[in-house]
Structure 1
Amino acid sequence: MLLALTVLVIAIALAWVLAFVGAPLVVWLGAYAAGWLLLLVTGLLGPVSATLLAIPLAVLLLLTIVPLRRAAITRAAMGWFRKVLPEMSATEREAIEAGEPWWEAEMFRGRPDWKKLMDFQYTALTPAERSFLDNEVETVCAMVDDWKVEFEDKDLPQPVWDYLREKRFFAMLISTEYGGLGFSALAQSSVVTKLASRSNALAVTVMVPNSLGPGELLLKYGTDAQKKRWLPGLADGSEIPCFGLTGPEVGSDATAMPDTGVVCWGEHEGERVLGLRLNFSKRWITLAPVATVIGLAFKLSDPDGLIEGGRKDYGITCALVPASHPGIQIGRRHYPGSAFMNGPIKGEDVFIPLDWIIGGMPMAGHGWRMLVECLSAGRGISLPAMSAAAGQAMYRSVGAYARIRRQFRVPVGRFEGVQEATGRIAGYAYTLEAMRVMTASAVDHCIPSVVTTIAKYHMTEMMRKVLTDGMDVLSGRGVQYGPRNPIATPYRAVPIAITVEGANILGRSLMIFGQGAIRCHGYVLDEMAAAHAGDLDRFDRLLFAHLGSSINRAVRAFTFGLFGSGLATSPVNGPSARYFRELERMSASLAFAADIAMGTLGGDLKRRERLSARLGDVLSQLYIGSCALRFFHANGERPEDLPHLRWAMDNCLNEIGVAFEGVIRNLPMRPAAALLRLVVFPTGNPYRPVSDRDNAAIADAMLEQTDFRERISHLAYRARDAADPHAQLEHAFQLCLRAEPAYEVFLKASAKGQLAGANTREQLEDAVAKGLLDRRQADLVAEYDAARYEALLTDDFSKAYLRGEFDAEDAMTKVGDPEARPKNELAAAPESEDAGGPKTPPDKTRDLDQQARRAR
């Protein structure tokens, strides 16, 4: 009995090792045959046992002999596979096949090549790109008064429009050959990030022509004649582009597009030519009200067979049309909660020649793929940049506010309840910047098919959380709309980012895993192609390689779960090593879970959007964690960065655990769910939310002036205008760091009633007289206290101003000048929010308000 048990244990251990390393079938056959023969020769197997154990040997032999396997197993399997394949429209197929897999494929397949990640180099900004950031971008930021843009003018000032054209902000992606700037994706991302930290309307105005628009479509697909005709004008700003895709019936489902282009004869420039009769109605088109050239997507058909080839329906096609062309109606505006230009476009019986199709007739019907590929790249640049801008700006300004704002004589940033929010802001700011540089650099190398959707969805959701937390901390300071409010505009504009370039709900529930499962999986897309083509030989090779891979990933995930990821690999030693190992464990788990979900649900998985979304969450968090790890090591593994990495990684792993728990609980086939739980969490879910200690560590760091603070917010615009709310907070913060020791002495003495005087100035004089402060300290405290109070004020307006009579009062009244207030209100204005604290000197407040008025 003991010998039999020993043999069984050895056999199980050997099988486990073979499965863990992914040994090929012939090795399994050889190992099993050798063991069977050894037991038979040594007499340890009797006739019955030998016969029973020969059955698995026969099965392995059948699986190894390919012709037998195909006839006995693969043919039937291919028939079943073709039945369960999800139905796929032409637009879905084009969306799936657009772009190319990148690092997300490594994470999806369960055995990531960490060397590939660690060798990946961020795009290096050129001297010209750095100069543009430091000069032109700084200049245009300084030209914008965000309050005036958003509330008064509902538009950028004309000098800003002129400057954007002159300095070719609309031509960052257009090559220098055609007069553009030819910037990298990372440079475009950096420009948009800095612009967005100043003004949402400014950033959107610049980013749209450099994202999904005629410029990129022309560069990639346009004919030589089209490039020469349009690109120079787009580059120098004499042409302003927009792109008409969405409409009342068209969002994520392009097949619902009612806009048509019918081939017919017509007159153009006095000649009878073959062309298209367009009828369309587009909505929510950014830059439409000011556009001079319109890119249009429509369904092309040739019912009369006027084009050679006899094809009737071509499908979605893109064309370029001057906005002044007869039949086009343009100029009215939507108002999406921000002042950037956005509006409808209509066209009735608009005739255009065939050569206005982007790329000419060879690209007719290929419009959806063209758009998806360009949108995939754009998703990795524009909205991720705006999200990173929110993280950087909130890190600086909310951190400054939490240091200077006091309750019960304590900075609010020291309260644990507030730290919950500020810690999240700090953690997400780090994560957002890590994702921004990784994803934009990836766009410079290829057209990532899935990571850009991951970045768009998760980064805009992080932006929503950052701004919500920022609003909670700023509280009344953030609620009162006005030129002093540093958060209201981006907070109000969050739904725009959530909705555009693929609504977030559909991005998460349909696109990330739906595309990732097919494009990033090592076998599924090729298996689908082989099954559709009826290629039995190829399908056989893929199917059994797939089965072997699935068994390998299951055993690896189970092994890692049992041994705490100790057997997983890491490309580094040190504090980040365990996170690489945990990601590898969850990567193997995702690969097996995807096979379980697709194998048990088949085409129905497409309609199980909640399950698809949760599996997509796992893939997304694996990518996000990879970004954070690469960012940490690319920045020199600095000790001050480690707490932020720990926050980011613990948050990722917790989100993965939550997502897997949701998949396991809701997988319809319960035996498969039980197997999945055993493999993924054999000893239970080990992942927990970020600890209070780690959250507090980065929340505390946010209140200090550190090298990390400067690096993580390096693209946040630093206004020099004394009236700018961010500048006011920053000024008060810097004074606080210098004055706080003396200020604490002063506040304590004042609270204890040790100082005589009716206001701050008199009490400070008494503190100097009593030797509690010296003259230099007292002057510094006075300066800081006035700056602190100024930074905490909110705006008030006259009724006339709020009615739109913007000349009815000047900036002094808008920002709450004491002279415009009732005297009793001024007299009661507290200098400190602490009960019993000293009062702000009216003369100091008046001086600062007059400075602000002059600055405006």
Structure 2
Amino acid sequence: MTVILLLMVLVAVAVALGMLRAAPWQWAVALGLVTLSWQSGLFHGTPSVPHVGFLGFFVWLAIAALGALSIPNVRRTLVTEPAFKLVGRVLPKVSDTEQQALNAGTVGFDAEIFSGTPDWTKLRAVPPIVLTPEERAFLDGPTTELCRMIDHWKIRHTDRRMPPEIWGFVKAHGFLGMLISKEHGGLGFSAQAQSLILGMIASRSPDVVTIVMVPNSLGPGELIEKYGTDEQKSHYLPRLARGEEVPCFALTGPTSGSDAATMRDIGIVTMGEHEGRQTVGIRVSWDKRYITLGPEATLLGLAFRLFDPDKVLGETEDIGITVALIPTTHPGVKIGRRHLPSGAAFPNGPNWGTDVFIPMDWVIGGEAMAGQGWRMLMECLAAGRAISLPSSATAGAKAMLRFSTAYARIRRQFGLSIARMEGVEEPLARLVETAYVNEAARAVTAAMVSRGERPSVISALMKYQTTERMRRAVNDAFDIHGGRAICDGPSNYLQSAYQMVPVGITVEGANILTRTLITFAQGALRSHPYLYREVQAVQNPDRETGLQDFEDAFLGHISFSISNVTGAFFHNLTLGLFAEVPERAQGLEAIYRQLSRASRNFALVADMTVALLGGGLKVKQKLTGRLADALSEIYLACCVVKRFEDDGRPEADRAIVAFAVTNGLHRYEEAMRGVVENFPNPVARGLLRVLVFPFGRHYYPAPDALGSRIVRLAIEPGEVRDRLTRDIYISGDPDDPTGLLEVALKKVVAAEAAEKKVERAIRAGIVRRYHGRDWIGEAADAGTITESEAQLLREAEALTQRVIAVDHFAPEDLMPNYREAQPPGLGHNVRAAAAGADQS
């Protein structure tokens, strides 16, 4: 028993020292004092027995070792130098392109999660949604007007192209130049404003938002603004802002998709003729595809790998990835053919060229920026990926919620609104959660970008998480609408979203690779408090400097790892009761504690994964994917809490917050269990089970009753429903399919009391509701309802019939016009290449 008590005291002291990240000499002093006190009988009144003395020998041996490690020369000889050599062999060498990607973005709150001890004041310091009066006026004015103009059936079915009036409107009002500064003729809007503007358009038409999104995302405009020469800025930026130039950016090719650094498109530095004179330039050959706006573009931003075999620019032959601006009318540029992306109507197509000569000053930034293209692209992508697709996916989820709650409240089966059926409540509850969580994370992330951050890890997880949740939201909306959703036509307000979902999943880094390779694998290097510093140190050509830098980082890493082990174990044993809670939590204390606990566990597992897998991390993509999911769930839950606080803690939203965070923690735990149970090292696997799951499973999905509660809030017209779907386009026009939903919902809710009276009369046999009978008149004649109630019911019934109606067509209206068939077996690329050969 004495030995057990001593062990318990030593463990308690070790946990405390570990959590406090004590130095080796502090460990030695603290453990020495405990052991001396015990062996002197201070605690138990008698001298130590031999067994305790035997244990004490090993304790004193450990104390001596800790004391020795406090001596710098001893520590360097016994620990630092061997570790320096080992880490140099184990950790992967960072390639030039990876180095540029790592340097491109900034770290944000992701670093707090990786630290295991998030500083909640940093999250609270992120500004809430703030727009300038000019930005708000643009959102309420031209953006709303643009949405009102859109006829999505005409765009995606009848014309299958963007109407000239839409192009004219977006150009005239500066939609294509939102990120271009006022100095250069653009609107100069904040990232938050761009996100909300794109979101409102996306809620109306995925096709239209695409033509606005691309020029305001990764593309020539942003690249010129940040890296262009003065001449390029003064010439192109005003033209881009006014829509006189329509840009596209050609990055992806047949062999370089998510791994764009392996592109085979090349340029050779050479002399050539341009505008009648000999000049230093580049002869470029390329083959690109999936280029949005390509068929309509007047200005091509082209990425290629530049070589200088004659050393015209310097001593390096392989200059690296370079980005140039090429007018699409330039001789040799082949552009204009179209892809048909998932039935969408936005312009998208290939372009190519062979031995096309361009002058050197067409390189963005001029000769000085030759070879800097990958860094330029990664820096812009780190911010752009956080805005464009997350904003459209968030707006799409809010639109799915708005439409589905209205339809489910209007549609009746078995004598009641289907929204009140538990089977329908389940997907409706998911829609509420998705809309709330996506908007919370969108707002926080956009605010980070607005204040100058480029959160590369957060932008990656935002892209894949919001688009995946949008996919689930669209599927839930389809399930709720049933046959109403699958029959296309002018009144179908879901089909365009359904057709466009795969586009968001695959562009700007396919979700599979964004999840498994980028979010955690790169995030661990970027956001870990010590790992990147260690990698840089072992790769430092100056060994002495590298060794000193490594020692500083390595000692901090050891302290960090011990803190994670002890902290995670302590918080899991105590169920997070002592985890950090910020001031003014006001009823959110339990949530903050569990998020702090989750962060500590994530930091432990992530740190051990990186330490033990080392260079093998990139091939263990199932593990890195699950860790990316765990990181995402913590970040999204943190954003949910921040949104609730930024919104002024509306009491009605507490149930939504509880539902979202509860489910988020459950998904986080499932991801963590997947990592632990599949960890390749059996010893580490067993240790992680004890440290992270000492009592087994802890988090469970939100209860059904809570889901029912939030659905009742969402199907009721009023402030909660409006807050859940804020900043999307909401029509009040009954001749518009979505406006009809809004009008019908209000009328149906107003008529519900009279409807119940009629239902009782039908069950009693007083009224018969069949085609050809005036059952509402019968109910009024029988005294079941008043004349005013009868009129209300007639109006509600007429609107309901319009809402649930499905489009149908005469056969001749659907007969396609066939052109002469192409020879069998000739694919698109073959025909395109043949066309290009004929033209050249």
Q: Given the two structures, how large is their TM-score scaled by the length of structure 1?
A: 0.91
Task: Report whether the alignment pairs 1:367 with 2:373.
Answer: yes
* Partner AA of 1:333 in structure 2: R
**Residue of 499, 502, 505 corresponding to 1:498:** 505
Q: Which residue of 2 aligns with 1:618?
A: 630
Q: Distance in 2 between matches of 1:630 and 1:564?
A: 23
Unaligned runs of 5+ in 1: 807-856
| Deviation of 1:551 (Å) | 0.9
Q: Given the alignment, which residue of 711, 734, 747 partners 1:722?
A: 734
Matches of 1:734 and 1:720, distance apart in 2: 11
Which of 178, 183, 201 aligns to 1:195? It is: 201
Alpha-carbon deviation of 1:767? 2.4
Q: Displacement, 1:583?
A: 1.2
Match of 2:489 among 477, 482, 489: 482
Match of 1:690 in 2: 702
Counterparts of residues 363-402 of structure 1 (less than 5 Å): 363-402=369-408
SS of the equivalent of 1:209 reads helix
Matches within 5 A, 1:431-580: 431-445=437-451, 446-533=453-540, 534=543, 535-571=546-582, 572-580=584-592
1:314 to 2:319 alignment: yes
Deviations 1:654-689 (A, max 9, x none): 111111111111111111001011111111120112
Deviation at 1:720?
A: 4.2
Instruction: Give the superposition deviation at 1:181.
Output: 0.4
Of the candidates 601, 604, 608, which is equivalent to residue 589 of structure 1? 601
Task: Say which is worse superposed, 740-749 or 164-173, in terms of deviation.
Answer: 740-749
Q: Say whether the 8 Å CA contact 1:110–1:587 is kept in structure 2.
A: yes
Q: Which residue of 1 aligns with 2:237?
A: 231
Q: Is the 1:123–1:444 contact (alpha carbons within 8 Å) kept by the matching residues of 2?
A: no
Relative to structure 1, the CA distance from residue 184 to residue 760 in structure 2 (aligned partners, 3 Å threshold; closer, same or farther) is farther
CA 1:265–1:705: 2 relative to 1, 3 Å: same
Match for residue 44 of structure 2? none
1:92 partner amino acid: E
Change (3 A) 1:267 1:586: same
Letter aligned with residue 475 of structure 2: T
Q: 1:494 to 1:743 in 2, by over 3 A?
A: same
- Tell me which of 336, 340, 353 is aligned to 1:335: 340
Match among 269, 283, 287 for residue 281 of structure 1: 287
Amino acid at match of 1:188: Q
Q: Tell me if the contact between 2:308 and 2:317 (Cα under 8 Å) persists in the aligned partners.
A: yes
Are 2:69 and 1:57 aligned?
no
Secondary structure at 2:729 match in 1? coil
Corresponding residue for residue 25 of structure 1: 24
Q: Which of 681, 689, 699 matches 1:677? A: 689
Q: Is the 2:28–2:64 contact (alpha carbons within 8 Å) kept by the matching residues of 1?
A: no
Q: Distance in 2 between matches of 1:7 and 1:13?
A: 10
Correspondence 1:583-662 to 2 at 5 A: 583-662=595-674
Does the CA contact (< 8 Å) of 2:335 and 2:350 recur in 1?
Answer: yes
> Aligned-pair distance for 1:20?
2.1
- 1:419 maps to a residue whose letter is E
**Counterparts of 1:342 and 1:556, CA distance in 2:** 52
Q: What is the SS of the residue equivalent to 1:239? A: coil
Corresponding letter in the other structure for 1:537: Q
User: Which residue number corresponds to residue 14 of structure 1?
Assistant: 13
Matching residue within 285, 294, 305 for 1:299: 305
- The AA in structure 2 aligned to 1:242 is C
| 3-state DSSP of counterpart to 1:450 | helix
Q: What letter matches 1:694 in structure 2?
A: L
Q: Could you say if the C-alpha distance between residues 324 and 692 of structure 1 is closer, same or farther in structure 2, counting changes exceeding 3 Å?
A: same
Deviation (angstroms), 1:290 = 0.8
Deviation at 1:185, TM superposition (A): 0.6
> Which whole-Å CA distance do the structure 2 matches of 1:471 and 1:379 have between them?
28
Range that drifts further, 245-254 or 465-474: 245-254
> Are the equivalent residues in 2 in contact too, given 1:295–1:320 (CA < 8 A)?
yes
**Is the CA contact 1:401–1:729 (under 8 Å) kept in the aligned structure 2?**
yes
Distance 1:247 1:758, change over 3 A: closer
Aligned to 1:326: 331
Asked whether 1:126 is paired with 2:132, we answer: yes
1:839 aligns with: none
Partner of 1:140: 146
Q: Secondary structure at the match of 2:565?
A: helix
Q: Which residue in the other structure is 2:838 paired with?
A: none
- By how many angstroms is 1:357 displaced? 0.9
Match of 2:357 in 1: 351
Structure 1 moving runs of 4+ over 6 Å: 40-43, 45-50
How far is the alpha carbon of 1:353 from its aligned partner?
1.0
Q: Whole-Å Cα distance in 2 between the matches of residues 8 and 793 of structure 1?
A: 74
1:835 matched residue in structure 2? none
SS of 2:302's partner is: strand
Which consecutive unaligned segments of at least 5 residues does structure 2 have? 42-46, 819-840
Partner of 1:742: 754
Q: Deviation at 1:159?
A: 1.1
Per-residue deviation, 1:434:
0.5
Counterpart in the other structure of 1:828: none
Q: Is the CA contact 1:268–1:352 (under 8 Å) kept in the aligned structure 2?
A: yes
- Residue by residue, what CA displacement relative to the aligned partner does 1:201-254 show, whole Å, maximum 9, x if unpaired? 111110000001101001111111110110010011101100000011110112
AA at the equivalent of 2:237: L
Match of 2:84 in 1: 78
Residue identity in the other structure for 1:112: P
Aligned counterparts of 2:784 and 2:315: Cα–Cα separation in 1:
95
CA distance in 2, matches of 1:194, 1:524: 41
Q: Deviations for 1:756-803, whole angstroms, at most 9, x for unmatched residues?
A: 797587332332233222221111100000000111001011222212
Helix, strand or coil at the partner of 1:17: helix
1:36-66 Cα offsets, whole Å, 9 max, x none, are 5556777759887765443112210121112
One-letter amino acid matched to 2:297: A
Q: Which residue of 2 aligns with 1:772?
A: 784
Alignment of 1:753-832 (within 5 A): 753-755=765-767, 762-804=774-816
Q: Name the amino acid aligned to 2:355.
A: D
Distance 1:8 1:343, change over 3 A: closer
TM-score, normalising length: structure 2: 0.93
Amino acid at match of 1:248: P
Q: Deviation per CA, 1:45-92, whole angstroms, max 9, x where unpaired?
A: 988776544311221012111211111121111111111112433222
What is the deviation of 1:93? 2.1
Give the corresponding residue for 1:712: 724
Matches of 2:599 and 2:665 in 1, distance apart? 11
**Which residue of structure 2 lines up, in the alignment, with residue 818 of structure 1?**
none
Query: Would the aligned equivalents of 1:70 and 1:536 in 2 still touch at CA under 8 Å?
Result: no
Corresponding residue for residue 824 of structure 1: none
Distance, in Å, in 1 between the alignment partners of 2:346 and 2:185 is 25
Segment of structure 1 superposing worse, 16-25 or 659-668: 16-25
Q: Across the two proteins, how many residue pairs are aligned to each other? A: 804
What is the CA distance between 1:168 and its match in structure 2?
0.6
Cα distance in structure 2, aligned partners of 1:494 and 1:5: 60
Structure 2 residue aligned with 1:426: 432
Q: Shift of residue 392 of structure 1?
A: 1.4
> What is the one-letter code of the residue matched to 2:208?
L
